[in-house]
Amino acid sequence: MTRAQARPPRIASLVPSLTELVFSLGLGTHLVARTGWCIHPAPDVQRVPKIGGTKTVNLAKLRRLRPTHVLVNVDENRRETVDALRGWGDDAPEIVVTHPRAPEDNLALVDQLATTFAGCDGVAERAQALGADLTRALALTADRGSARWRVLYLVWHAPWMTVA
């Protein structure tokens, strides 16, 4: 059993969508840190300390919160942040790296977090239900041979950001 598995997890999420997934899996009581961009579910995240932004993590504050796990995303967070976390020595948390690139990849993402936190009550059942819901939603949007539309989806401005 690893150090992180020997006690209840203390989760830090550096990605807004992962923060929402943490709550969907029933792990909200284990969330000890989030970014300022992690704002959903609004009533629940208000109790969780902010530790900066997705790319501007306050590492000193995060370290004081003693996370056992830090959730990151290849496209959302900086490699320098991950390297700094790994440099904490015996205090280094388990870093859970995610990289969904297509809607279907979210099935594996749910499984990844369910496996990581398998020792927590109800996670497996919630993950199974969430996976089933996602599978149904994906089926509704499956390619049925109709004409494809090209869309530019803007998600933020200053600077402008898009989904590719």
What pLDDT digit, counting tens, does each position of 17-34 carry?
999 999 999 999 999 999
DSSP string, the chain: --TTTSS---EEE-SHHHHHHHHHTT-GGGEEEE-TT---SHHHHTTSPB-B-SSSB-HHHHHHT--SEEEEETTTS-HHHHHHHHTTGGGPPEEEEE---STTHHHHHHHHHHHHTTTSTTHHHHHHHHHHHHHHHHHHT---SPPP-----EEETTTTEE--
The pLDDT, as a whole number, for residue 6 is 63
Global pTM? Answer: 0.87
Confidence of residue 1 (pLDDT cuts 50, 70, 90): very low
